[in-house]
Amino acid sequence: MLPTMTFAPATAPPPARLTGSLAFDLPAELEAGTPPEARGLARDEVRLLVSYFPRREQVSATDRIQHSQFRDLPGFLRAGDLLIINTSGTLNAALPARRADNTTVRLHLSNRLDTDTWVVEPRQPADKGTLPLFTASAGECLTLPAGGSATLLAPYSEHSEHVRLWRARLDLPARIGRYLQQHGSPIRYNYVPQGWPGSYYQTVYATRMGSAEMPSAGRAFTPTLMTRLVARGVLFAPLLLHTGVASLEADEPPYPEYFEVPPASARLVNFARENGGRIIAVGTTAVRALESVADGDGRVNAGSGWTDLIITPDRGLRVVNGMLTGFHEPRATHLAMLQTLAGLPHLRQCYAAALREKYLWHEFGDLHLLLPA
């Protein structure tokens, strides 16, 4: 069920142009185009690169890298560690659409602005998948399945050279959740050659639908693995961040996203920190949400709303000191977040090892656990 009153800012703020920390060539064969289940693996049988980065006060500590499997995660954590998980579920946010000249396009829904208005991204067919549609114009009406329509109202950001995201009014014959379930499909990009059912895009702990794209760092968790972690004394703190569509350009930061950090999770984070537990965020979305409600001393308060926080080395991290994440594309701005946590030299070592050992990228790929030495 979608929230009805958690609306995005009507227009996007001017995005700071960022450059990610690493530039490298990603071979096409390292882009995971199918889920692990289709490759004969269980979800938790994806590979896990574990890296230990020196803390600032441990300048003599050496970086360590280990190669493992995700189902061995409990062996790398200890009692009192706290995993921050994003419980947002993934919408079937891609809809088939037609322009007035009967051209077929795809419409990706990103963030809800009010009851009937959304941030959307029109996309056009390409040789492999789709590409952004830059020829759309204000006032254009796209025809959707079952008599629905989407009218493009205005660019969401007035600060982009090319208009990719639009404010659009949706006129649908059913409630949005039911409509997307019946007519939509998960958003996928060109490295995934075929569609997969929505179940492949959900984490096992998703409780509330709302993300345009899967918070994929948590995809490999299974009920059995989570039970093993709890038995080891590892704690879980749920929060919520509904993701928008992915950034288009390497230096384009994410736009505002809706989040909630409940009181129980805030208390648990503060308790774990006070008792020496490591605060390990599962994914960049969990980092963004948690750091949005941390004060200057690292104390977390419950809160909700829209965050435009971008983690950079200049801003720093106040709470999170470990992270589980996928491998990010060259020059991606999420790499600035990882650099803030572990430092650029450590990241270079990790990504060189991942490329050398042929780890897989993207939502169906392998994972990277970063821990302080």
Per-residue pLDDT tens over the stretch 46-66: 999 999 998 765 555 567 999
Q: Is residue 323 part of a domain?
A: yes
CA count, 13 A, side-chain hemisphere, 117:
14
CA 356/CA 107 separation, integer angstroms:
37
Mean pLDDT of 249-270: 87
CA 60/CA 92 separation, integer angstroms:
49
CA 191/CA 15 separation, integer angstroms:
27
Q: Which residues of 10-22 are buried (b: 16+ CB within 10 A; e: fewer)?
A: eebeebeebebbb
Q: Is residue 21 part of a domain?
A: no
Across the chain, the runs of DSSP E, i.e. the strands, are 47-53, 64-69, 82-86, 88-90, 94-98, 104-112, 117-125, 130-132, 141-143, 149-155, 166-171, 208-211, 235-242, 257-261, 279-282, 303-307, 322-326, 367-372
* pLDDT value at residue 162: 78
CB 155 within 8 A of CB 112: no
The answer to whether residue 124 scores a pLDDT higher than 70 is yes
CA 294/CA 275 separation, integer angstroms:
18
Domains in the chain: how many in total? 2
CA 183/CA 197 separation, integer angstroms:
12
Helix axes 284-291, 334-342, angle to 10 degrees: 70
Instruction: Give the single-character DSSP code of 63.
Output: P
> Same structural domain for residues 231 and 123?
no
Helix axes 344-356, 334-342, angle to 10 degrees: 110
> Same structural domain for residues 34 and 176?
no
> Same structural domain for residues 218 and 320?
yes
More confident residue, 129 or 350: 350
Task: Find the CATH number of the domain harbouring 104.
Answer: 2.40.10
Q: Is residue 45 part of a domain?
A: yes
Q: Which residues of 175-206 are buried (b: 16+ CB within 10 A; e: fewer)?
A: ebeebbeebbbbbbbebbeeebebebbbbebb
**148, 183, 218 — which closes off a domain?**
183
Residues in contact with 247: Cβ distance below 8 Å, sequence separation at least 6, in sequence order: 253, 254, 332, 333
Mean pLDDT of 5-29: 63
> Same structural domain for residues 178 and 274?
no
Mean pLDDT of 95-122: 95
Residue 290 has a CB neighbour count (10 Å cut-off) of: 27
Length of the chain: 373
Which backbone phi and psi does 252 adopt, to 5 degrees? Answer: -95, 115
Return the SS3 of 70. helix
> Same structural domain for residues 123 and 211?
no
> Same structural domain for residues 224 and 340?
yes
> Same structural domain for residues 346 and 240?
yes
Encoding tokens for residue 39? Answer: 């490759």
**135, 153, 183 — which closes off a domain?**
183
Q: Is residue 188 part of a domain?
A: no
Instruction: Label residue 145 by pLDDT band (50, 70, 90).
Output: very high
| Rounded percentage of the chain residues whose pLDDT exceeds 90 | 81
The answer to whether residue 317 scores a pLDDT higher than 80 is yes
Lowest mean pLDDT among 35-49, 240-254, 314-328, 356-370: 240-254
> Same structural domain for residues 222 and 167?
no
CA 367/CA 364 separation, integer angstroms:
10
> Same structural domain for residues 159 and 210?
no
Q: Is residue 189 part of a domain?
A: no
Question: Domain residues for 254?
Answer: 28-90+197-372
Give pLDDT tens digits for 190-240: 999 999 999 999 999 999 999 999 999 999 999 999 999 999 999 999 999
Mean pLDDT of 113-122: 93
* pLDDT value at residue 4: 38
Q: Is residue 304 part of a domain?
A: yes
> Same structural domain for residues 324 and 358?
yes
Question: What are the DSSP calls for 181-216, one per residue?
Answer: HHH-B----TTS-S---GGGG--TT--EEEESS--G
> Same structural domain for residues 98 and 84?
no
Q: Is residue 15 part of a domain?
A: no
Smallest CA-to-CA distance from 122 within 251, 10, 245 is with: 245
CB 30 within 8 A of CB 360: yes
CA 306/CA 308 separation, integer angstroms:
7
- Report the alpha-carbon angle 220-185-367, nearest 5: 20
154 beta partners: 167
Find the helix or strand (DSSP H, E) in which 271 lies: helix 263-274
AA identity, residue 371: L
Residues in contact with 99: Cβ distance below 8 Å, sequence separation at least 6, in sequence order: 105, 140, 142, 143
Instruction: Give the single-character DSSP code of 322.
Output: E
Q: Is residue 365 part of a domain?
A: yes
CA 110/CA 21 separation, integer angstroms:
26
